[in-house]
Amino acid sequence: MDELILCVNKLQDQFRSFSQKPVDLPQIIVVGSQSTGKSSVLESLVRRPILPRGIGMITRCPLILRLVHCPKGDKLRKRRGESYEEWGEFDKDGKIYDIGDIKSEIERRTEELAGVSKNISYTPIVLTIFSPHVLTLTLVDLPGITKVAVEDQPADIEDQIVNLINQFIKNPKSIILAVITANTDMATHECLKMAMKVDPDGTRTIAVVTKLDIMDKGTDATEILTGKCIPVKLGIIGVVNRSQEDINNGKSIEDTLRDEDDFLQKKYPALADTNGSKYLAKKLQELLIKHIINCVPAMTQSLLKKIEACKSVLAECGTEVRDEKACLDDTLNTFCQSFIKIVKGEAVDVQSVSLTGGAKICSLFKKLDISLMSVKPCEKYCLEQVILAIRQTSSVEPPLLFSERAFDELMRPLLEHTRKPSLLCIDEVSRELKSLCRNSIPQETATRFPAVAQGVTKVVDKMIDDLTGKTKEYVLQSIYIEEQHITRSQILKIVNHSNLLSVLNKDLGLLPGNPFKSSPAFIKKAKLKDFTIQESLNPATKDVRHCIILGVRSTRSRVGEH
């Protein structure tokens, strides 16, 4: 039956080499909170201290741990490890590692995948242990669940770990090995809560209860081990871990297993035969083999469907390409023509409920125009602000007719409102162009020549990004230039081609209505020395006339023109 587990391992290797997972395969997923003794449980199965240890989060990426029973004379030993009693191999390495070197190699690969800080990685480390002392078994060890980010961990570390665990345990063909401690409330274990969400009936969950030997005096784990506290169907097995003191004192795993047997016989004689690390290894192997056998029909059916789908794709790819250059030229030309047609609206679905291509880009420009036109100067400023601007910019020489400097100073802040919508429009057009690029690649090309499709997308995306940056620089420079020199030609045209000059000589009652409204709140808030603005300014007829001219200018001309 060992061959059955090894066969599934080979299938997993093949699927991983495709950079995808088309079929869910049976596997045992080890989950638990930090400091529950996961590492000790795994090392008891390996019979060797191969896992990194320390304070905080040590496991920071999935570890696919494959145990292969390899006695003397085994064909695997003859082919790879005749000179070793036991050894390890890492995926895609080909190198044989001494058992004593595996721990440091796991640490090195973890830093390579997840960095030197406390981040995690979704990419697994695959380790195979060949030994005459293990039972053939495959487990996936995941980072321990943590509630609080510490040291260099990102603030959302809990969510990251939970998402990683869920990716594995949601596989309906997986067995969930929940590691919990005997000296804490069963209802508080996060791994059990997560297991129940994806396996509410507990039909594919087994619990391992650690630290049986350090429960409070006067208590024991009988009710826990007999299934009265934990709703799982695959069993509950209690174990005794190597403590940190044992590790510091150099206590071997063999001695720990002997002490575990003695403890169980003394403390739980009626349950000793169905608990402990040795029984756990046998139970897990039995469950995995049985689970694989049960999954074979569904796996076979799924694989056959995938094979048929691949055959269909291969048939669509057509005959062999004889002239690669001509084929590439034709593919690129087809892409360019398709892109142009979509932009021009010559290749769109008129039944579509959303705008695409050139129509979408046009709507983005219209959206920008509406945004720029929405700036209303007469609502932006109150009457008192305009009068104050006229007085301050006039200094000791008040204008005879119109305060150009006041116009400049009042218009300049309004130009700032064009910055954000303009940059937003550029980003939206950029995203739409990238979307057009992907939609312009024929499905046949994407299927038959995926590398070409990816290459075209990469080149076009970079081109769009470069031009997006240059466009933003141009727009920002244009806004800066306009801010430095306010154009007054429009206001002069309005004044010269209207009856405003004659109106100025008439009574104020005949003038157009003043578009600027007085603001009591502004008057109350602002002060000049010891007087309010109303008292200090004492608006005269000329001031009101100036406000009317500014208002007419503002309402008849566009802020976007500046």
Interacting residues of 517 by C-beta distance below 8 A, sequence separation 6+: 382, 383
- What is the per-residue pLDDT for 57? 65
**Burial of 504: CB neighbours in 10 Å, binned 0-12, 13-18, 19+:** middle
Give domain 172-247+269-280's CATH architecture.
Answer: 3-Layer(aba) Sandwich (3.40)
Which of 206, 244, 241 has its CA nearest to residue 227? 206
Helix (H, G, I), strand (E, B) or coil at 305: helix
* Residue at 85: amino acid letter: E
- What is the per-residue pLDDT for 473? 92
Single pTM value for the model: 0.60
What are the Cα distances from residue 305, in Å, to 86, 310, 472? 40, 9, 50
Between CA 302 and CA 295 the distance in angstroms is 11
Extents of the domains making up the chain: 36-48+58-169, 172-247+269-280, 340-556
Q: Which two tokens stand for residue 269?
A: 């004689």
- What is the per-residue pLDDT for 157? 81
pLDDT tens-digit series, residues 353-405: 567 777 788 888 888 888 877 767 666 777 777 777 777 776 666 655 556 67
> Which H or E run includes 131?
strand 125-131
CA-angle at 524, arms to 520 and 530, nearest 5°: 140
- What is the per-residue pLDDT for 20? 55
CATH of domain 340-556: 1.20.120
Tally of CA atoms within 13 A in the half-sphere of 363 that contains its CB: 10
* Top-tier CATH class for 36-48+58-169: alpha beta
Q: At which residue do the structure tokens 């290749």 appear?
A: 347
For CA atoms 298, 171, 24, 205, the dihedral sign is negative
Interacting residues of 328 by C-beta distance below 8 A, sequence separation 6+: 452
What are the Cα distances from residue 13, in Å, to 89, 91, 92? 14, 9, 10
Between CA 470 and CA 490 the distance in angstroms is 30
- What is the per-residue pLDDT for 183? 82
Contact status, residue 140 vs residue 65, Cβ threshold 8 Å? yes
- Regions of the chain short of the pLDDT cut 50: 507-508, 528-532, 558-562
- What is the per-residue pLDDT for 173? 86
Percent helix / strand / coil, the chain, rounded to 5: 55, 10, 35
Tell me, yes or no, if the two domains 36-48+58-169 and 172-247+269-280 fold the same way. Answer: yes
